[in-house]
């Protein structure tokens, strides 16, 4: 931070120059009663404060943006899961309705088949009965 402050004060982009200036500083040499030293310390503290503010604001903004992204991702994930559940529920309801319809159709077909079989059995019994009656009549006429 001190290197950034020195680079800002001296409007220098060289890290080596900033390091040289930092190493050259001796706090015992600073005389706060001297106007030049007082201005130097004041400017250094002002720039250091500005650097801290900008850094903290940047970190805060980054954290807020990251929190928004995380929240958006969580919301999207939740909505996708809800959509999947809704689709699954619709599919399940459709499958149940289709299965119920198939069962009802099968029961209807079974009922119709049972009625046909029952009618055929009755018809067969009538024919057997008529055949027996004709046989009995033929037998009686033959014996008479």
Domain assignment of residue 45, yes or no: yes
**Which residues, in sequence order, are CB contacts of 60 under 8 Å at separation 6+?**
none
Domain assignment of residue 142, yes or no: yes
Domain assignment of residue 56, yes or no: yes
pLDDT at 36: 82
Residue 118 has pLDDT above 70, yes or no: yes
Q: Which domain holds residue 114?
A: 104-144
Domain assignment of residue 44, yes or no: yes
Q: Supply the pTM of this predicted model.
A: 0.39
41: number of Cβ within 10 Å: 14
Domain assignment of residue 95, yes or no: no
Instruction: Please provide the average confidence, as pLDDT, over all residues in the chain.
Output: 86
Give 36-86 pLDDT, tens digit per residue: 878 888 887 888 788 778 778 878 888 899 999 999 999 999 999 988 888
Asked if 7 and 18 count as a contact pair (C-beta separation under 8 A), the reply is yes
Domain assignment of residue 118, yes or no: yes
Domain assignment of residue 2, yes or no: yes
137: number of Cβ within 10 Å: 10
**Which residues, in sequence order, are CB contacts of 127 under 8 Å at separation 6+?**
none
56 and 4 in a common domain:
yes
* Domain tally, the chain: 2
């Amino acid at each position: 931070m001190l290197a950034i402050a020195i680079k800002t004060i001296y409007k220098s982009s060289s890290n080596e120059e900033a390091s040289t200036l930092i190493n050259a500083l001796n706090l015992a040499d600073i005389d706060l009663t001297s106007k030049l030293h007082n201005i130097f310390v004041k400017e250094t503290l002002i720039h250091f404060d500005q650097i801290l503010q900008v850094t903290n604001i940047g970190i805060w903004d980054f954290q807020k943006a990251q929190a928004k992204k995380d929240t958006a991702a969580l919301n999207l994930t939740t909505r996708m899961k809800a959509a999947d559940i809704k689709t699954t529920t619709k599919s399940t309801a459709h499958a149940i309705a289709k299965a119920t319809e198939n069962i009802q159709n099968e029961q209807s077909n079974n009922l119709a088949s049972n009625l046909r079989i029952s009618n055929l059995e009755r018809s067969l019994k009538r024919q057997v009965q008529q055949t027996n009656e004709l046989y009995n009549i033929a037998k009686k006429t033959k014996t008479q």
